[in-house]
Chain A
Amino acid sequence: MPRTSNRALVNGVVALLVVVAAACSRPKAVVAPEVSPAAESAQPTDGRDRDGTTQVQSEPTISAAGVPEEAVSATDLPADIEALNRAGYLKDAFFETDKSDLREDTRATLAADAAWLKAHPTVKVTIEGHCDERNTAEYNLALGWRRANAAKAYLASLGVAAERISTISYGEEKPFALGRDEGSWSQNRRAHFVVTSK
């Protein structure tokens, strides 16, 4: 085999190896080239061999992301509505571990909430679904979503217009109690009411 074709093989394999790092999801075994002893003794003296040099580049720099203009904070409520929330007319509904079924006492709480909402027909609320810290973060987001919507569906069944109720899940992201025991966990398994409009 002429030496030039050996070098072409080596260069081709080197080029393959350079792009290897980006190919993590397309696993292809790049196998070692078989190089004859003749190529082994080749010295990189002419231009063609220098073309085989890998010029190592610096890694890309990392930039922090900007904030999109439409960013909103769920806690930015007018002062009078914050006061209404602090007054606590609407009681939160609590759940069993890993459940979104409504307990008997949860139904009673929600029935009282429904009565208050019907007596105040302009009020709009967000029901937040919350979970204790057990189970994984993203499973808990799905579980909290179920809890919030179970509470909403029950209120709707009692005659509260569904358009007045929005729902969001915070999963285990915003715990009410920070202990790592059943006393705290039971406090965190809830559908929490936030009045968003009078």
Chain B
Amino acid sequence: MRNLTSTVVFSLAIASPVVGHAQEELYLHVTSPGLQRVVVAAPDFERRAGSDPPGSAEFASTLRKDLGEAVAITLLPDDRARLVEVDPTNQGLTRQRWRAVGAQFLLQGSLAGAGSQLVVEVRLFDLASGEVAYSKRLQSGAPLAPTMAHTLANDLVHLFTGRPGPFLSRIAFVSDRSGSKELWIMRWDGADPQQLTTHRSIALGPAWSPDGQWLAFTSFLRGNPQLLLLRPTEGYLKPVAALPGVNTSASFSPDGARIAFAAGADGNTDIYVVPVAGGTPERLTSSRAIDTQPAWAPNGRQIAFTSTAAGAPQVFLMDAEGSNIRRLTLGDTFADEAAWAPDGVRLAYTSFVADRFQIAILDLRTNTRSVVGAAGNNESPCWSPDGTMLAFVSDRSGRKQIYVTDPAGKPRQVTIDGNNLQPAWVAQLQ
């Protein structure tokens, strides 16, 4: 088998350059060098026997929209696709023609009806080798046609990147649109916002369990802040930690068994870890400084966190047992809210550049820092499940709103009502 992952990569561009101090490293593009998008030709799927299967129009439009938004994929432009003369009697020749106009892969499919069901069969051809890189037969009721298209688009993103696609993903967040800070959830593009809590208290810091089943968050519902777990598909709520102190900044271990969080008595805040199944929290740090915002690394062996041990808040790294603490951010006057990319190599965080909060990305492999500069103050970065996009909060429109980068890396506003904060992205709700 060939590994397609190595042939593709992502580029995160930014909206506008930041005017900053001369010593700041400012980049227009946050890119992983050496990688590029794959060019996929996706001609209209054949409709079997001249029929118009139920849901086929919704399937086709959703698939086209998804593939157009997939960071790892460039759809072959229509003007080039039109140059291809399809020879139904010679598929090999036709594929050569697709390749000649610049396509690397050809997505072919058929749509058929089976009663009220839509049946989709697809094949993805690698035009360089002529091999079928992927094939699938999907079936469901016509109302689920968009879900079928999202499932297929996710499969293709996964095939090319090795990581889950975003098209069934959701973003949990904090919103004050109802009058108090509550947890909400929406699709990654801002569609279908739904209110998860109606506590009329303060809810903060949602964090997903890796399996997409649980949201950990901080609630002032019982007076002192405590850490709660919420099962969004059942509305089920249970306490997980209520130590003296803030009980904030939950971060699940990659195996889902433990939660790192910040708490502590007498004004001090340290990093603790508690088993999700219940048990006594274990203290990981014991500095007199503020230690907060733990972020469990994808490898499970390390935890990034914010500490004021060096004065202003900076991002540090420790082993998951609390040992071997070392400082990660060296070129920032302020660094907080570290968020690991799924690759475990890049760390997004909130920095302070030229008198504004800005998202920065630290590449631990090259030890280089890039500032994703944009208008206003920008904070609370959160990676898409495939690591190709960022969600973050910006006050550029006046109020705090959530933005998601589009395939070109340009931020697009996905919330409107009230202030919307602290996005937490999950590949799929379970």
Point out residues on A near B: beta carbons under 8 Å.
10, 14, 17, 20-35, 37, 39-40, 44, 49, 52-68, 70-74, 98, 100, 135-139, 141-143, 145-150, 152-153, 167-171, 173
Once the chains are docked, how many angstroms separate the CA of A32 from the CA of B204?
Answer: 41
A55's contact among B140, B221, B254, B334, by CB below 8 Å, is which?
B140
| A33 near B138: Cβ-Cβ < 8 Å | no
Q: Shortest distance in angstroms between A117's beta carbon and chain B's nearest beta carbon?
A: 19
Once the chains are docked, how many angstroms separate the CA of A24 from the CA of B429?
Answer: 11
| B221 near A71: Cβ-Cβ < 8 Å | yes
Chain A residues whose CB sits within 8 angstroms of the CB of B74 once the complex forms: none
When A34-B131, A56-B139 are in contact, do A138 and B197 touch as well, CB less than 8 Å?
no
| A29 near B135: Cβ-Cβ < 8 Å | no
Chain B residues whose CB sits within 8 angstroms of the CB of A32 once the complex forms: 1-2, 4, 124, 126, 131, 133-134, 159
Once the chains are docked, how many angstroms separate the CA of A3 from the CA of B100?
Answer: 32
| B144 near A58: Cβ-Cβ < 8 Å | yes
When A28-B162, A67-B198 are in contact, do A138 and B248 touch as well, CB less than 8 Å?
yes
Is residue B164 contacting chain A, with contact meaning CB distance below 8 A? yes
Chain B 175-208: CB-based contact to A (< 8 A → 1; otherwise 0): 0000001010100000000111111011011000
| B147 near A59: Cβ-Cβ < 8 Å | yes
Name 5 interchain pairs, CB-CB below 8 A, sorted by A. Answer: A22-B430, A25-B254, A39-B132, A64-B197, A66-B235
| A25 near B139: Cβ-Cβ < 8 Å | no
Chain B residues whose CB sits within 8 angstroms of the CB of A30 once the complex forms: 158-159, 162
Chain A residues whose CB sits within 8 angstroms of the CB of B205 once the complex forms: 137-138
Most chain B CB atoms below 10 A, which of A23, A143, A145: A145
Chain A residues whose CB sits within 8 angstroms of the CB of B239 once the complex forms: 68
- The number of residues on chain B lying at the interface, defined by a beta carbon within 8 Å of a beta carbon of chain A, is 101
Once the chains are docked, how many angstroms separate the CA of A34 from the CA of B197?
Answer: 47
Once the chains are docked, how many angstroms separate the CA of A168 from the CA of B202?
Answer: 13
Chain A residues whose CB sits within 8 angstroms of the CB of B248 once the complex forms: 138, 141-142
| B426 near A35: Cβ-Cβ < 8 Å | no
Supplied contacts A29-B3, A138-B337, 15 more A-B pairs, CB within 8 Å? A17-B134, A24-B342, A25-B256, A27-B163, A31-B2, A32-B131, A33-B133, A44-B121, A56-B139, A57-B147, A62-B232, A62-B233, A66-B237, A136-B380, A138-B218
Most chain A CB atoms below 10 A, which of B137, B144, B201, B218: B137
Chain A residues whose CB sits within 8 angstroms of the CB of B140 once the complex forms: 55-57
Is residue B61 contacting chain A, with contact meaning CB distance below 8 A? no
| A141 near B225: Cβ-Cβ < 8 Å | yes
| B336 near A139: Cβ-Cβ < 8 Å | yes
Once the chains are docked, how many angstroms separate the CA of A20 from the CA of B155?
Answer: 8
When A20-B158, A27-B343, A65-B237 are in contact, do A173 and B202 touch as well, CB less than 8 Å?
yes
Once the chains are docked, how many angstroms separate the CA of A22 from the CA of B385?
Answer: 10
| A54 near B138: Cβ-Cβ < 8 Å | yes
Chain A residues whose CB sits within 8 angstroms of the CB of B194 once the complex forms: 62, 64
| A142 near B262: Cβ-Cβ < 8 Å | yes
Once the chains are docked, how many angstroms separate the CA of A59 from the CA of B357?
Answer: 37
B181's contact among A40, A73, A173, by CB below 8 Å, is which?
A173
Chain B residues whose CB sits within 8 angstroms of the CB of A135 once the complex forms: 313, 334, 336
| A71 near B292: Cβ-Cβ < 8 Å | no
Of residues 217 through 239 on chain B, the ones whose CB sits less than 8 Å from some CB of chain A are: 218, 220-225, 230, 232-237, 239
Chain A residues whose CB sits within 8 angstroms of the CB of B201 once the complex forms: 71, 73
Point out residues on B near A: beta carbons under 8 Å.
1-5, 119, 121, 123-124, 126, 130-140, 144, 147-148, 151, 154-155, 158-159, 162-165, 168, 181, 183, 185, 194-199, 201-202, 204-205, 210-212, 218, 220-225, 230, 232-237, 239, 245-246, 248-249, 254, 256, 262, 264, 266-269, 290, 292-293, 298, 306, 312-313, 334, 336-337, 342-343, 350, 357, 379-380, 385, 421-422, 426-430
| A20 near B164: Cβ-Cβ < 8 Å | yes
| A71 near B222: Cβ-Cβ < 8 Å | yes
Chain A residues whose CB sits within 8 angstroms of the CB of B155 once the complex forms: 17, 20
| B222 near A17: Cβ-Cβ < 8 Å | no
When A22-B211, A30-B162 are in contact, do A139 and B292 touch as well, CB less than 8 Å?
yes
| B267 near A21: Cβ-Cβ < 8 Å | no
For the complex of A and B, list the 6 residue pairs with the smallest distance between their C-beta atoms, beginning with the closest.
A149-B267, A29-B162, A63-B235, A25-B210, A32-B133, A24-B427
B136's contact among A17, A26, A146, A168, by CB below 8 Å, is which?
A17
When A40-B132, A136-B336 are in contact, do A70 and B222 touch as well, CB less than 8 Å?
yes
Once the chains are docked, how many angstroms separate the CA of A169 from the CA of B292?
Answer: 14
- Closest A-chain residue to B121, C-beta based? A44
A24's contact among B1, B3, B163, by CB below 8 Å, is which?
B163
Chain B residues whose CB sits within 8 angstroms of the CB of A136 once the complex forms: 293, 336-337, 350, 357, 379-380
B306's contact among A57, A139, A167, by CB below 8 Å, is which?
A139
Once the chains are docked, how many angstroms separate the CA of A167 from the CA of B224?
Answer: 9
Chain B residues whose CB sits within 8 angstroms of the CB of A147 once the complex forms: 267
Once the chains are docked, how many angstroms separate the CA of A67 from the CA of B269?
Answer: 28
| A31 near B267: Cβ-Cβ < 8 Å | no
Q: Shortest distance in angstroms between A124's beta carbon and chain B's nearest beta carbon?
A: 14
| A21 near B223: Cβ-Cβ < 8 Å | no
Once the chains are docked, how many angstroms separate the CA of A146 from the CA of B249?
Answer: 17
| A67 near B298: Cβ-Cβ < 8 Å | no
Once the chains are docked, how many angstroms separate the CA of A27 from the CA of B269?
Answer: 32
Once the chains are docked, how many angstroms separate the CA of A21 from the CA of B168?
Answer: 8
Q: Shortest distance in angstroms between B123's beta carbon and chain A's nearest beta carbon?
A: 7
Once the chains are docked, how many angstroms separate the CA of A23 from the CA of B169?
Answer: 12
Once the chains are docked, how many angstroms separate the CA of A1 from the CA of B235?
Answer: 51
